[in-house]
Amino acid sequence: MAVQDELLALCTELHASGIKLSYDTILKARGRGSRRDIAAALREWYRRRAREIASSSLAMPDHISAMGNDLVRQLWSAMEGEFAELRREVALEADLLKDHAEEEIEHLHQIIGEQHEEIQRLKNEVERNPDIG
């Protein structure tokens, strides 16, 4: 089993047990793992979970349908509409979170690049002026 598949299965298991998913809880449950692999698996698990929630439907249970009451059907229809709206909101929120995360990652890459350039500049300065160090 690939590492990501193993981590995704572990995320599903931990979530089903009511355990909040985080790097630390996954690392503790698994006993090992890189931050990069765990973070990638967490992102994928949440992406799949959001897609699953957004595409789920609310079917009327047979025992309620058997009541045959117009009021029950109207209430159920109203609930389905509210549920559909909630699914749309969850999908939108997941997209917004993804976009925000991508912006943050881009920003962090920029900061790291700037820090790397500053480190290189300082190294060059120290090499040119050994009395500085």
The predicted model gives 60-78 an average pLDDT of 78
Q: What is the pLDDT of residue 133?
A: 57
Q: What is the pLDDT of residue 72?
A: 79
Q: Cα–Cα distance between 63 and 59 in angstroms, integer?
A: 12
Q: Is pLDDT at 114 greater than 90 in this prediction?
A: yes
Give pLDDT, residue 117. Answer: 96
Which tens digit of pLDDT belongs to each residue from 1-50?
698 899 999 999 999 999 988 888 999 999 988 888 888 888 888 888 87
Domain extents in the chain? 1-55
Tally of residues, the chain: 133
Of the two residues 129 and 62, the one the predictor is more confident about is 129
Q: Is the pTM of this model over 0.85?
A: no
pLDDT at 132 over 80: no
* pLDDT, tens digit, 9 for 90 and up, residues 71-98: 877 887 888 888 888 887 877 777 777 7
